[in-house]
């Protein structure tokens, strides 16, 4: 009976050893798992923090992009307004240019007509210059004739004066002769 109990004790001891070993193994595994859990928890915590930071960064980026988009929309609206103004201005300039082109065409026509008139007037002037030259020649001839006529008139006046003096002398002589004759 003692041997049986001894055997049973041995069995129990062996079972205890086996249980202790299993327990030690399980503790070790538990410790490893616990460490892994802690590591994973830390990793999860780090990942969550990183995700939170990323989310915050993304929110900031989105906010900045929205602000930039708002600015770009405003700029786009301004540019569209400017474009509309420029189109209106272009239309106005085209109208003005059309009017100016018509005016230029009219002025060119007037200029061509004026040139034609100038050509005609030059021709007339040339003819008149020729006529003036002829008239000047005639006038010069007339001047010579007038000078000659004046000389002749002067000579005639001198002759006339001499004649009058001569006649006066003759009249005086006749008087003297009549007086002598009477005496």
SS (H, E, C) the chain: CHHHHHHHHHHHHHHHHHHHHHHHHHHHHHHHHHHHHHHHHHHHHHHHHHHHHHHHHHHHHHHHHHHHHHHHHHHHHHHHHHHHHHHHHHHHHHHHHHHHHHHHHHHHHHHHHHHHHHHHHHHHHHHHHHHHHHHHHHHHHHHHHHHHHHHHHHHHHHHHHHHHHHHHHHHHHHHHHHHHHHC
Residue 1 has pLDDT above 70, yes or no: no
Q: How high is the pLDDT of residue 2? A: 66
Classify residue 158: in a domain, yes or no: no
Classify residue 172: in a domain, yes or no: no
Each residue's pLDDT tens digit, 2-54: 677 888 888 888 888 998 898 999 999 999 999 999 999 999 999 999 999 99
- Mean local confidence (pLDDT), 61-82: 96
Classify residue 67: in a domain, yes or no: yes
Classify residue 96: in a domain, yes or no: yes
Q: How high is the pLDDT of residue 119? A: 96
Rounded to the nearest integer, the mean pLDDT of the chain is 94
Classify residue 175: in a domain, yes or no: no
Q: How high is the pLDDT of residue 8? A: 86
- Mean local confidence (pLDDT), 96-106: 95
Structural domain of residue 133, as residue ranges? Answer: 1-149
pTM of the model: 0.40
Classify residue 154: in a domain, yes or no: no
- Mean local confidence (pLDDT), 121-149: 95
Classify residue 140: in a domain, yes or no: yes
Classify residue 20: in a domain, yes or no: yes
Q: How high is the pLDDT of residue 6? A: 84
Question: Total domain count for the chain?
Answer: 1
């Amino acid at each position: 009976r003692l041997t049986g109990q001894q055997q049973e004790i041995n069995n129990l001891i062996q079972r205890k050893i086996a249980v202790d070993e299993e327990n030690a193994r399980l503790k070790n595994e538990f410790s490893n798992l616990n460490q892994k859990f802690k590591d994973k928890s830390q990793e999860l915590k780090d990942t969550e923090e990183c995700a939170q930071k990323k989310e915050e960064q993304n929110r900031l980026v989105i906010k900045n992009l929205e602000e930039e988009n708002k600015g770009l929309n405003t700029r786009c609206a301004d540019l569209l307004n400017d474009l509309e103004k420029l189109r209106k201005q272009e239309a106005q300039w085209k109208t003005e240019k059309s009017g100016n082109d018509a005016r230029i065409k009219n002025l060119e026509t007037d200029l061509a007509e004026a040139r034609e008139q100038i050509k005609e007037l030059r021709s007339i002037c040339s003819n008149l210059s020729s006529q003036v030259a002829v008239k000047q020649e005639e006038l010069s001839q007339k001047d010579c004739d007038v000078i000659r006529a004046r000389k002749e008139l002067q000579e005639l006046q001198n002759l006339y004066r001499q004649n009058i003096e001569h006649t006066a002398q003759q009249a005086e002589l006749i008087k003297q002769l009549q007086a002598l004759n009477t005496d």
